[in-house]
């Protein structure tokens, strides 16, 4: 760093962001972070003003999930910073690279309960990979550089940098040279002995299955994963974060695994004698009751994070390392002699499946699953779909046709309502030339509805497909099945006119309630330049099937039947 000219801490922050490859940040200004926003007034980095700090964090997450680049969000001290917590935890749960920058009260006020003061690093510590408060302007560059390095990996995740107001104002040497972009460190990979043991286990298998998770997305391992399963003609399933890893049309893809997974995926994994678990963490929504999960299988677990081994499910062989490097080693070692082929078993595994069970709407009503079936049938092949959380999320996950895991953006580990629209905004900012659709339910959408103003202000072309069943649908379904139909506070039959609200934001909108209108409405919706909404008024009592109850096993799967709607509120 040269001593030839002076800058301020705020200007230095922006210069470092630009040098780290950041092109856009999402945020909301306030008192403590005002010097940074003042410096931004004449800086080329693009800033997207969301209408809530939580949306800024979700948008940064959507940007990172869909691009692989670090997402950046900003907020002021106190409530601004605490409003970021949910979006930051969402990134932590799904291993998403993010840097959050928060303003803090002046250094001399810290610890005095000053106006809008919060101990942000203590609050954020449990939900980040690292949370640091900058105490000296001389440390600012080092801390920010480290934040990006830690956020990127090896296991990606969020990092928080809290900067007091006086540090942002402080004079400091101007950065007149740029650090070289980080060179990837040689990928860690398991020892050849472990690789050979895994291949040997596969050679002795009769009913092997692979499970791919979000680690394939993080490690850019999709291509080598497809090569791996094709080499052995291996049947495989995906966690929700692994959706899109399958080669388009691959018959050996058995579908999503877990609570709402496809029958072929769940039964095949249950019947397997060897499982290759690749970049996944055995979440409870995947395993059900852990001591009953794939009881006869020997498990090979490949992951970058050694803390995941034997955390929930005992494994036979642990392959610690970058998943792309690990899969490359497996492919190379297997190719040294004739690799086994499991063509017959793959056909048998596929035959265990069948069509998804569904509750179809009664005459005169529209089914949400019919809407989603129709949408995915006509959506562009490279469409990026961002979902909110609830029934529509599971219906979309079951039906998605993503050609890459970065094309299906969803809050998986945290399951945070309000995620869908801001995440789609982030995804669209990262993929300006792509169609991005936010699939939302009426409950979650109302947690981020003001972000339609963000769409309009920046003419962000996100399309909103709104599934409105006038219920908090997933909670309502559990009340029906597990709480004796006591429908406590899940009725949203007093919903507003969503299409009218969208048009109030100057966003073109249609509202339909008849399946016969779907083809024309979808065609108009997808062809509309810029942002648009298609509001679909759907049957209230439609449930997500199959459903493996929490803590149960694949043998306890419920396939359901059409339900009677509960009475509307008075």
Judge whether residue 562 has pLDDT over 60.
no
Q: In what order do the strands lie in the sheet with 463-468?
A: 408-409, 384-387, 436-441, 463-468, 532-537, 509-512
Q: Give the pTM.
A: 0.94
Instruction: Kindly tell me if the per-residue pLDDT of 569 is higher than 70.
Output: no
> In the structure, what pLDDT confidence band is assigned to residue 1 with cuts at 50, 70 and 90?
very low
Tens of pLDDT, residues 421-454: 999 999 999 999 999 999 999 999 999 999 999 9
What does the pLDDT read at residue 417?
98
pLDDT of residue 343: 96
Per-residue pLDDT at 461 exceeds 70:
yes
pLDDT of 257 above 60: yes
Enumerate the β-bridge partners of residue 160.
100, 131
- The mean per-residue pLDDT over the stretch 214-219 comes to 96
Question: 34: exposed, middle or buried (C-beta count within 10 Å: 0-12, 13-18, 19+)?
Answer: middle
Task: List, for residues 376-425, the tens digit of each pLDDT value.
Answer: 999 999 999 999 999 999 999 999 999 999 999 999 999 999 999 999 99
Query: What is the location of CATH 3.40.50.970 in the chain?
Result: 6-173, 368-556
CA distance 252 to 209: 10
Residue limits of CATH 3.40.50.1220 in the chain: 192-351
- State residue 354's pLDDT score: 85
Angle, helices 391-399 vs 473-482, to 10°: value is 100
Averaged pLDDT score across all residues of the chain: 93
State the DSSP string of 457-485: HHT---EEEEEE-SB-HHHHHHHHHHSTT
The pLDDT, as a whole number, for residue 363 is 87
Residue 77 has pLDDT above 50, yes or no: yes
pLDDT at 510 (0 to 100) = 97
Question: Which has more confidence, 405 or 290?
Answer: 405
Measure the CA–CA gap between 568 and 548, rounded to whole angstroms: 28
For residue 450, give the DSSP letter: G
368-556 has which CATH code?
A: 3.40.50.970
pLDDT digits (tens, 9 = 90+) for 485-516: 999 999 999 999 999 999 999 999 999 999 99
Whether residue 180 has pLDDT greater than 80: no
Indicate whether 118 pLDDT > 80. Answer: yes
> Considering just the CA atoms, what is the radius of gyration of the chain in Å?
24
In percent, the amount of the chain with pLDDT more than 70 equals 95
Strand pairing class (317-320; 298-303)? parallel
Q: For 59-68, 113-122, 353-362, 507-516, which range has the lowest pLDDT when averaged over its residues?
A: 353-362
Task: Provide the CATH number for the domain formed by 192-351 in this structure.
Answer: 3.40.50.1220
Query: What's the average model confidence in pLDDT over 242-266?
Result: 96
Helices in 336-380 by DSSP H: which ranges? 343-351, 368-378
Q: How confident is the model at residue 568 (pLDDT cuts 50, 70, 90)?
A: very low
Per-residue pLDDT at 187: 58
Phi, psi (deg, nearest 5) at residue 179: -70, 145
Nearest CA to 285 out of 299, 304, 265 is that of 265
At 176, the pLDDT band (50, 70, 90 cuts) reads: low
Q: pLDDT tens digits, residue range 326-339?
A: 999 999 999 999 99
| Torsions phi, psi for 253 (to 5 deg) | -80, 120
Q: Bigger pLDDT: 356 or 243?
A: 243
User: In the CATH scheme, what is the code of domain 6-173?
Assistant: 3.40.50.970
């Amino acid at each position: 760093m040269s001593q030839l000219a002076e800058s301020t801490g705020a200007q230095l922050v922006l210069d470092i962001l630009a040098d780290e490859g950041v092109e856009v940040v999402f945020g909301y200004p306030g008192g403590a972070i005002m010097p940074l926003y003042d410096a931004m007034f004449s800086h080329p980095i693009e800033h997207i003003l969301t209408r809530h700090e939580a949306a800024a964090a979700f948008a940064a997450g959507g940007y990172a999930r869909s691009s692989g680049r670090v997402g950046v969000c900003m907020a002021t001290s106190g409530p601004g910073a605490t409003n970021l917590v949910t979006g930051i935890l969402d990134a932590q749960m799904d291993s998403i690279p993010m840097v959050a920058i928060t303003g803090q009260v002046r250094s001399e006020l810290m610890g005095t309960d000053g106006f809008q003061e919060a101990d942000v690093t203590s609050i954020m510590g449990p939900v980040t990979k690292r949370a640091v408060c900058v105490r000296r302007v001389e440390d600012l560059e080092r801390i920010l550089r480290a934040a990006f390095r830690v956020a990127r990996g090896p296991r990606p995740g969020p990092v928080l940098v809290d900067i007091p107001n006086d540090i942002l104002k402080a004079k400091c040497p101007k950065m007149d040279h740029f650090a070289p972009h980080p060179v990837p460190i040689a990928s860690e990979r398991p020892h050849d002995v472990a690789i050979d043991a895994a291949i040997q286990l596969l050679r002795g298998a009769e009913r092997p299955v692979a499970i791919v998770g979000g680690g394939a997305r993080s490690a850019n391992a999709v291509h080598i994963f497809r090569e791996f399963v094709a080499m052995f003609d291996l049947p495989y399933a995906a966690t929700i974060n692994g959706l899109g890893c399958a080669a388009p049309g691959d018959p050996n893809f058995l579908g999503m695994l877990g609570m709402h997974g496809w029958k072929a995926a769940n039964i095949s994994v249950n019947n397997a004698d060897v499982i290759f678990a690749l970049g996944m963490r055995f979440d409870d929504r995947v395993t059900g009751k852990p001591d009953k999960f794939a009881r006869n299988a020997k498990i090979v677990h490949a992951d970058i994070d050694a803390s995941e081994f034997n955390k929930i499910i005992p494994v036979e062989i642990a392959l610690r390392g970058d998943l792309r490097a690990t899969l490359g080693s497996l492919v190379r070692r297997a190719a040294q002699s004739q690799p086994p082929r499991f063509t017959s078993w793959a056909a048998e595994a596929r035959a265990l499946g069948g069509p998804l069970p569904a509750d179809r709407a009664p005459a005169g009503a529209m089914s949400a699953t019919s809407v989603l079936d129709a949408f995915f049938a006509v959506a562009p092949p490279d469409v990026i779909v961002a979902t909110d959380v609830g029934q529509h999320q599971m219906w979309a996950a079951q039906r998605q046709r993503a050609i890459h895991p970065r094309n299906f953006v969803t809050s998986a580990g945290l399951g945070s309502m309000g995620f869908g629209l801001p995440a789609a905004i982030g995804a669209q900012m990262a993929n300006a030339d792509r169609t991005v659709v936010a699939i939302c339910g009426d409950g979650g959408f109302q947690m981020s509805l003001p972000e339609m103003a963000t769409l309009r202000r920046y003419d962000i072309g996100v399309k909103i497909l709104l599934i409105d069943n006038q219920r908090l649908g997933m909670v309502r379904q559990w009340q029906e099945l597990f709480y004796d139909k006591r429908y406590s506070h899940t009725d949203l039959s007093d919903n507003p006119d969503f299409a009218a609200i969208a048009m109030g934001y100057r966003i073109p909108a249609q509202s339909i309630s008849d399946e016969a209108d779907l083809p024309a409405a979808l065609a108009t919706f997808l062809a509309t330049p810029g942002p648009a909404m298609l509001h679909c008024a759907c049957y209230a009592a439609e449930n997500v099937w199959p459903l493996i109850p929490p803590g149960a096993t694949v043998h306890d799967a419920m396939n359901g039947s059409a339900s009677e709607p509960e009475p509307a509120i008075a």
